[in-house]
């Protein structure tokens, strides 16, 4: 199914996150992903992408950019004529928590494996170029970032602290790709979520004055919900547990006199079709 973006509550608390790497230039897997668990997510992104493994729970992903600040340019007559647009270099720091050959390769910038399985740290480090995919998960919702080309190498030293989990910070510098620096999605529902936009069967009454209560009957009228009377938002929506009915207070428009509008219901899963309504105002 195509992605369904969250419209009413597009906030994200990334309780869980997954990071994948692939050969540089690997395109983004088709959205949305099945984020019910790690296994279904790996199936969604496909075999081209390898999990980077565990990363720091405390540090998360730190983002930064380098470059000059915009400079205001002007003339004697117009001091604030325009601003410059300096080039920015974007980077992310990821703290790897898995001590594996793949993690060592990214942190130390290449290397080999000895006969006994130990990792041989290279004499000369070389940043590893990869495609990067980040999936931040909040329950049934997720945000996806895709970078076609990044340069990965250790950002700073590691420390073995008996009271903390050991980590290897790796800096991913965005190198850009065929379509901008990268791509980031809005908050969207996972592929396994049943998406049902609201429908409106009846609106009673079909004409009402500002401050009056209107009853809307239909399906999937679940909170959070917004009812639009044209460009005006209805007040105090109250939904039933079954999602088959809601009541709304008619707003007061700026215009005077009777105002024909199109009523529509909006939830996190989309919008209903429009229903004619008239806001009845005394001349």
Q: Are strands 235-239 and 119-120 parallel, antiparallel or unpaired?
A: unpaired
Higher pLDDT, 100 or 7: 100
Q: Using one digit for the tens of pLDDT, what is the confidence trace for 66-86?
A: 888 889 999 888 988 889 888
- Closest C-alpha among 177, 176, 183, 117 to residue 145: 183
Mean pLDDT of 173-191: 92
Nearest-CA neighbor of 188 among 1, 2, 3?
3
For the stretch 186-221, pLDDT in tens is: 999 999 999 899 999 999 999 999 999 999 999 999
* Cα(207)–Cα(276) distance, integer angstroms: 9
Would you place residue 17 in the very low, low, confident or very high pLDDT band (cuts 50, 70, 90)? very high
Distances from the Cα of 176 to the Cα of 50, 146, 184, 186, angstroms: 20, 11, 13, 20
Full-model pTM? 0.84
Average pLDDT across the chain, whole number: 93
150: Cβ–Cβ under 8 A, 6 or more apart, which residues? 92, 129, 130, 131, 132, 172, 173, 174, 175
Delineate the domains of the chain, giving CATH numbers in brackets: 16-189 (no CATH), 199-279 (2.60.40.10)
The reported pLDDT for the residue numbered 1 is: 66
């Amino acid at each position: 199914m195509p992605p369904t973006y969250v419209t009413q509550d597009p906030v994200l608390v990334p309780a869980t996150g997954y990071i994948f790497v692939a050969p540089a230039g690997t395109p983004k897997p088709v959205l949305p992903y099945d984020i019910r668990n790690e296994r279904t997510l790996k199936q969604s992104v496909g075999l081209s992408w390898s999990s980077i493994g565990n990363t720091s729970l405390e540090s998360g992903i730190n983002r930064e950019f380098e470059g000059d600040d915009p400079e205001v340019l002007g003339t004697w007559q117009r001091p604030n004529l325009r601003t410059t647009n300096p080039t920015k270099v974007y980077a992310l720091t990821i703290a790897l928590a898995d001590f594996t050959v793949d993690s060592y390769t990214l942190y130390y910038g290449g290397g080999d494996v000895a006969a006994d399985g130990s990792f041989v740290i290279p004499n000369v480090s070389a940043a590893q170029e990869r495609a990067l995919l980040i999936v931040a998960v909040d329950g049934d919702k997720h945000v996806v970032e895709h970078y076609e080309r990044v340069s990965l190498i250790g950002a700073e030293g590691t420390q073995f602290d008996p009271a903390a989990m050991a980590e290897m910070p790796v800096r991913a510098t965005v190198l850009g790709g065929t379509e901008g620096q990268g791509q980031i999605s809005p908050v969207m529902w996972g592929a396994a979520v049943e998406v049902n936009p609201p429908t409106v069967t009846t609106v009673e009454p079909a004409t009402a004055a500002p401050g009056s209560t209107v009853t809307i009957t239909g399906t999937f009228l679940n909170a959070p919900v917004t009812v639009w009377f044209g460009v005006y938002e209805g007040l105090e929506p109250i939904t039933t547990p079954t999602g088959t009915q809601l009541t709304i207070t008619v707003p007061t428009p700026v215009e005077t006199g009777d105002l024909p509008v199109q009523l529509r219901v909006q939830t996190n899963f989309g919008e209903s079709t429009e229903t004619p309504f008239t806001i009845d105002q005394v001349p």
